[in-house]
Chain A
Amino acid sequence: MSVGVVEMDRLSLTPKTEGGTATNRRCVKCPEAGILSGLDPKKAVYCRPCFMQMVMHKFRSSIGRQRLFKDGESRKTVVIFDGTPAAAFLLGMIRSGLAADAHHRLQLDPVVVAVVTKLDRQEIDAVIKRIDTIKSYLQCDWHIVHLAAVLSDNLQDLSSSSSEICPGVDQLDRLIELFSSIRSESGRSEMKVRLRTALLYRMTETMGVSKMMTSDTADRLAKLSLSSLALGRGAQMSEDTAVVDKRHPKVAVIRPLKELSDKEVGIFNRFEQLDELTVIVGDPDRASPAVQTITDSFVTHLQAGFHSTLTTVLSSASKVKTATTSRIRCAFCFSSSDDRFCLACRGILDEVGEPSLLPSSLQ
């Protein structure tokens, strides 16, 4: 029997035969025909059950390797949901992990925080309604918060689940004005990322939780690494991409999807019907070019021609560290700094035309 290696078309996930030529390749785990591959089609190919098992194993081993949830540590973890296929995948992994029998149970007590970054009120309401339908998938505490909440000086009421108003929407106009006063599109994009991270740190800390889990995949982390390099954050590449990131004095960031690519997640979601859990929580990138969008297309283009690009970039990032010996932490991103703010954050903050619009801790 002659079987072609099936390549998932990048956009539509429709199978097509590679190069139109059938090749006889076997699954690396069992005698079945190999029809699915990870990042590099020239390396291991799998049949469907073994592929699914490989993906799940990558997720479980990235957590197990770190021994985060053992030795009496609190198991409560804030899971960040941003509506992407990777976030849907993460929800699926957690649900199946919690449903497993005693020996395989995921040692984790999740609290899901969904972050909305849309700037139009009607669209925000639509996103919240959509997230409400997703809540039933994972039975645990859910909180929905808007990015603008980072501008609020009082985060205490965010933990309250009795409120019908989405926290942060009251600060929406101020956030819009803040973004308008930033001089460049690159600065706006970077500010959005930094404010979102700052909000998540504050929320997690306010809730009394010491761990936060995100759904960043290898694709996203590699693009983030190169964008950071171009914005002067090269020294932070290692921390920005680590599976466990302990820059913040009280909150550790966990990135269990670091070794999984968008391609693998997409295939898995298709087979497990996890695509139903996706929602677009943010506005699309503007038409005007920015460092971030140029980097995204650069990495995507390079990965198509050189299959080890993502893994090599992440490998490079994990081997470097900041050269400074300063003990000071940047007040914005908590990385090592020679001053109150690190060089890159100061560059972004200097682009803000109205400093009074920033959170008070950053003025």
Chain B
Amino acid sequence: MVNCAKCNGQAALKRPKNGDALCRSCFFEAFEREIHETIVGNDLFVRGDSVAIGASGGKDSTVLAHVLNLLNERHDYGVKLVLLSIDEGITGYRDDSLEAVKRNKLEYGLPLEILTYKELYGWTMDEIVAKIGLKNNCTFCGVFRRQALDRGAWKLGVNKVATGHNADDIAETVLMNVLRGDIARLQRCTQIVTGQEGMLPRCKPLKYTYEKEIVMYAHFKKLDYFSTECIYSPNAYRGHARTYIKDLERVRPRAILDIIASGEALSVKEGVSLPTITTCVRCGYISSQSVCKACVLLQGLNTNEPLLGIRKTSKANKQLQRPPPTSSTSDVSQSGGCGSGGCACNPDTPQSLDF
């Protein structure tokens, strides 16, 4: 029988991060204390902050909501917490995971706001995949969700957003950016707070927490979460990086923190060109180009040229010079988009876009 490294009681688990054998209560205490130290050490919250927790119903955001609520009461951060969910419109996946978020809302007594792609962009992921197929659809979803989270936060009037990115996710992102040669993102993907200069700050309180420990914590605390993977991303390139990270962790658990340390120690050499942050001329949200990626992808969908924004062509650049359609609904009808197929979208119903 293995004994707990801290209290000598009966051990219930072995921590993946450092191999310590711990009992349940000592594991809870260590897990929560480390997150608290991350929050305090990096000044993530200030008394009076309003914080939106990006809640997807999965294990990371469920544990994040639970722990933030717990630590807010225990250590009196003095912050107001809100749950913010984005509904991508994936039948059989997102609707079930949002049910888990609603149950968490009741359990923790936190307000919950749900935004849908349909109301923000006029398209659900089901409709997008029906138009462009399985390839590249992750690009649409990722671009839309990132902006949707910001727009939801503005709508709620909060001043910070907390996401459930854990150590494994950040290590994957560092690796992905090296593999894709994305130097601008490589420089900032390990920052625990991003978007501080006049924009809506995002923070990652679980930055140094291993995914396996999050699963263990949720399991022992019997937290209610949804765990099915997205049905539209079976061949995402990120899967390669994830498999590699898991293999490294099995052989050398500290490799995940070492990769994060590597990312933190990097900066870009002088002379390497980096994008300049401005705002989109169409929707006014943050962008490094004159027209932001979400508007480009949306125009591609609405004008029946879905690869606009996916491929680099001079034709695509010319397409961008044209003024955007005044109404996505009418253009959809004319171009034989949703209205011409078996899609649930009703072209006769007026659609208002929040631009």
Interfacial residues, chain A to chain B (CB-CB below 8 A)? 184-186, 225-226, 228-235, 237-238, 289-291, 294-295, 298, 301-302, 309, 312-313, 315-317, 319-324, 343-344, 347
Contacts and interface: CB of A to CB of B under 8 A. Distances in A.
Contacts of B250: 289
Contact of A230 (B183, B255, B264, B266): B255
A229 B181 contact: no
Q: Which 10 A-B pairs have the closest CB atoms?
A: A234-B262, A232-B258, A235-B265, A323-B267, A312-B181, A320-B266, A298-B244, A316-B178, A229-B262, A230-B255
Name the interface size band of chain B: 20 to 34
A313 B244 CA distance: 15
Nearest to B269: A321
B175 interface: yes
A343 B254 CA distance: 13
Given A234-B265, A294-B251, A226 B178 contact: yes
B338 to A, nearest CB: 34
A234 B261 contact: yes
A291 B251 contact: yes
B95 interface: no
B178 A229 contact: yes
Interface in B170-224: 174-175, 177-183, 186-187
Contacts of A226: 175, 178
Given A226-B175, A322-B265, A302 B252 contact: no
Contacts of A302: 179, 240
Given A231-B255, A234-B259, A291-B251, A321 B267 contact: yes
Contacts of B244: 294-295, 298
B255 A234 contact: no
A290 B244 CA distance: 12
Contacts of B240: 298, 301-302
Contact of A319 (B183, B251, B252): B183
Nearest to B267: A323
Given A229-B174, A302-B240, A321-B266, A316 B259 contact: no
A316 B255 contact: no
B248 interface: yes
Contacts of A322: 265-267
Contacts of A312: 179-181
A234 B180 contact: no
B277 interface: no
20 contacts: A184-B252, A185-B251, A230-B248, A230-B258, A230-B259, A234-B265, A235-B265, A235-B266, A291-B251, A291-B255, A298-B247, A313-B179, A316-B186, A319-B272, A320-B187, A320-B267, A321-B266, A322-B265, A323-B265, A324-B265
B132 interface: no
Interface of B: 174-175, 177-183, 186-187, 240, 244, 247-248, 250-252, 254-255, 258-259, 261-269, 272
Given A231-B258, A289-B251, A316 B264 contact: no
Nearest to A336: B265
A323 B251 contact: no
Contacts of B177: 316
Contact of A294 (B247, B261, B272): B247
Given A225-B178, A226-B178, A320 B252 contact: no
Contacts of B264: 323
Interface centre among A231, A233, A344 (most CB of B within 10 A): A231
Contacts of A225: 178
Given A232-B258, A289-B247, 10 more contacts: A225-B178, A229-B175, A289-B251, A291-B255, A298-B244, A317-B178, A320-B269, A321-B267, A343-B261, A347-B258
Nearest to B244: A298
A185 B267 CA distance: 30
B235 to A, nearest CB: 11
Contacts of B247: 289, 294, 298
Nearest to A235: B265
A313 B174 CA distance: 12
A229 B269 CA distance: 17
Contacts of B187: 320
Contacts of A185: 251
A287 to B, nearest CB: 13
B26 to A, nearest CB: 25
A238 B269 contact: yes
B256 to A, nearest CB: 9
A282 B46 CA distance: 57
Contacts of B266: 234-235, 237, 320-323
